[in-house]
Structure 1
């Protein structure tokens, strides 16, 4: 054993959880301010960020997938998308062979606004990350992924949704 007992592991988990919670709160506040700048509800702004992020990754979202990511019913998602489309921030297209599938795209205007709004925060975070060795950041990504997966073990596992 490396001298790290169960009590120290639990204390480390608590410290890390508090920092992650604090980071999440700061991110949420930044998103709230972005929403205020756009003149939309914070849920609408977070939906826009999900749409833009997925689009930038080459995996544009459907309304159903977006609804799962921001935890909205199909009716609430329709209302949200109507508001965003009316404001000129998002478009719904039918790009697939199955014309029933709707793809969400963010407008060039919202991309410009998001880039300008988040530029300073992104630059500060990039500076922090650039000061760390790439191997450490890879390990950190892996730890975060494992911690996320440990919170939601998924169906079929003893403590997952179907094993309760």
Structure 2
């Protein structure tokens, strides 16, 4: 069928995609507010969050990992890391066995500001997830994983056509 008269399956899919779009818009607005409150750009906030996640997992992050994560050049990565270091959000730590290499660590300031800015939102999101039934949680995880794969495959296909 075409137009506004969808069958039930198409209407259900359309409703799910609309809910996903609304969530994405809300999350983008939240990230904008967070960046503004911390006086950061999108990539700076992404790096701070990457470093905090890695630290909580006991993982080390090198500048090359940041460049790969953001998909930017090493020169752009160096400038970004310099800004974050100057602002007090990260520190460069010498690699223990390679004098030419460094690890990146978030500072206490980064952790404090991210927690202050995002903790209420994370608590609310966690509460919603905790209140969701195990079956619904499995369905959401499956849906989002498959959506990610669908989006990623479009990106790969467009790159292959160039």
**TM-score (norm. length: structure 1):** 0.77
After superposition, the Cα gap between the structure-2 partners of 1:147 and 1:99, relative to the gap in structure 1 and judged at 3 Å, is farther
Report the aligned-residue RMSD.
Answer: 2.9
Q: Which has the higher contact order (CA 8 A, sep 6+)?
A: 2
Q: Distance in 2 between matches of 1:146 and 1:24?
A: 16
Bigger shift: 19-28 or 122-131?
19-28
Q: Aligned residue for 1:28?
A: 28
Structure 1 residue 88: Cα displacement: 0.8
**TM-score (norm. length: structure 2):** 0.78
Q: Aligned residue for 1:47?
A: 47
Which one has the bigger helix percentage?
2
Q: Distance in 1 between matches of 2:31 and 2:119?
A: 13
After superposition, the Cα gap between the structure-2 partners of 1:149 and 1:98, relative to the gap in structure 1 and judged at 3 Å, is farther
* Divergent runs of 4+, >4 A: 6-11, 159-164
Unaligned runs of 5+ in 2: 1-5
Paired residues for 1:84-95 under 5 Å:
84-95=84-95
